[in-house]
């Protein structure tokens, strides 16, 4: 893999991590086309996710900052006069739900880690899972009365969305698409579901990075430059993709991404069978 291929894959990751079309599915398909592509474990893919992690933290910085501040005891708060008990309670509840969701995601990731790695070797599985992602998005777009907000979310929501995020470790299942869809199936407002989905992705990406760090020793300095370039490309395009996604969520146009997933999945399967 050369520098330009690394940047190209970073752009693909940045665009598809947040747009509900499965970044893992796109990466598997793109990497299968690149002759001689090789990486240690899935370290390169994880580094691309680190780039999108930076994008989501920057995009949701107010939410992330408020949650972190809510965890600081009042007596240690830098501005005690701005300490609002209702806001702090709400932010702490969100933090608790993120922990619950992360526990379910992490359990699936740890137990099925080796099986998930093997799935990344199959373009056909990624293509089929893209069809599943398209179905979830299409159905989510048809759900009515998605009126629940962050304050209405409960432990059941966190368990379901966390479990779905764990399943989305499979290539072709969009993490953002599936978690937002199931949030909407729970009648959670689309924007609220998206914000919780991306906040929930933060510990998941950090955990995946830690699990793959042992591969760093096997990567040459030249390869690390390519990996870093891909990570930066993913961060920049990821931020732009977030803005675009929230625009489509407000318009209730998720079915557009469903059509795209179906088209890509079908075309990929046809190409692999010809």
pLDDT confidence tier of residue 36, bands split at 50, 70 and 90:
low
pLDDT confidence tier of residue 210, bands split at 50, 70 and 90:
confident
pLDDT confidence tier of residue 85, bands split at 50, 70 and 90:
confident
> Taking all residues of the chain, what is their mean pLDDT, rounded to a whole number?
85
Can you say how many angstroms the Cα of residue 25 is from the centroid of all Cα atoms in its chain? Answer: 12
Residues contacting 110, CB < 8 A, separation 6+: none
Beta strands per DSSP E along the chain:
none
**Over the stretch 168-204, which tens digit does the pLDDT of each residue have?**
888 889 889 999 999 999 999 999 999 999 999 898 8
Q: Which residues of 27-55 are buried (b: 16+ CB within 10 A; e: fewer)?
A: bbbbbbeeeeeebeebbbbbbbbbbbbbb
The answer to whether residues 225 and 217 touch, using CB atoms and an 8 Å cutoff, is no
**pLDDT in the model for residue 40:** 53
The answer to whether residues 176 and 194 touch, using CB atoms and an 8 Å cutoff, is yes
Residue scoring higher pLDDT (121 or 191):
191
**Residue 19: both structure tokens together:** 């747009």
Of the candidates 218, 199, 215, 46, the one whose C-alpha atom is nearest the C-alpha of residue 116 is: 46
**pLDDT in the model for residue 34:** 73
**Over the stretch 232-269, which tens digit does the pLDDT of each residue have?**
999 999 999 999 999 999 888 889 999 999 999 999 89
**pLDDT in the model for residue 133:** 94
pTM for this prediction = 0.84
What is the arithmetic mean of pLDDT over 130-135? Answer: 94
What is the arithmetic mean of pLDDT over 32-43? Answer: 65
Say how many domains are in the chain.
Answer: 1
Structural domain boundaries, residue 257: 3-273
């Amino acid at each position: 893999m050369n520098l330009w291929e690394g940047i190209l894959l970073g752009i693909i990751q940045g665009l598809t991590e947040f747009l509900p079309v499965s970044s893992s599915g796109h990466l598997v398909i793109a990497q299968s086309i690149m002759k001689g592509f090789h990486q240690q474990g899935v370290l390169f893919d994880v580094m691309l996710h680190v780039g999108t992690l930076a994008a989501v933290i920057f995009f949701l910085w107010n939410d992330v900052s408020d949650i972190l501040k809510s965890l600081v005891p009042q007596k240690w708060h830098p501005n005690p006069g701005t300490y609002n008990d209702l806001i702090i309670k709400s932010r702490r509840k969100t933090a608790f739900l993120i922990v619950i969701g992360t526990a379910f995601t992490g359990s699936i990731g740890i137990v099925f880690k080796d099986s998930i790695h093997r799935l990344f070797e199959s373009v056909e599985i990624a293509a089929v899972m893209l069809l599943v992602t398209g179905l979830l998005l299409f159905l989510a777009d048809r759900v009515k009365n998605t009126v629940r907000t962050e304050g209405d979310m409960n432990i059941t929501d966190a368990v379901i969305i966390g479990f779905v995020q764990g399943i989305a470790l499979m290539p072709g299942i969009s993490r953002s698409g599936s978690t937002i869809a199931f949030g909407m199936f729970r009648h959670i407002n689309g924007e609220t579901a998206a914000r919780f989905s991306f906040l929930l992705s933060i510990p998941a990406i950090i955990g995946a990075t830690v699990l793959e760090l042992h591969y760093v020793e096997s990567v040459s300095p030249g390869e690390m430059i390519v990996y870093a370039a891909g990570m930066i490309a993913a961060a920049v395009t990821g931020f732009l993709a977030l803005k675009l996604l929230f625009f489509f969520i407000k318009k209730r146009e998720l079915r557009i991404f469903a059509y795209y997933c179906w088209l890509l999945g079908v075309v990929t399967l046809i190409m692999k069978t010809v």
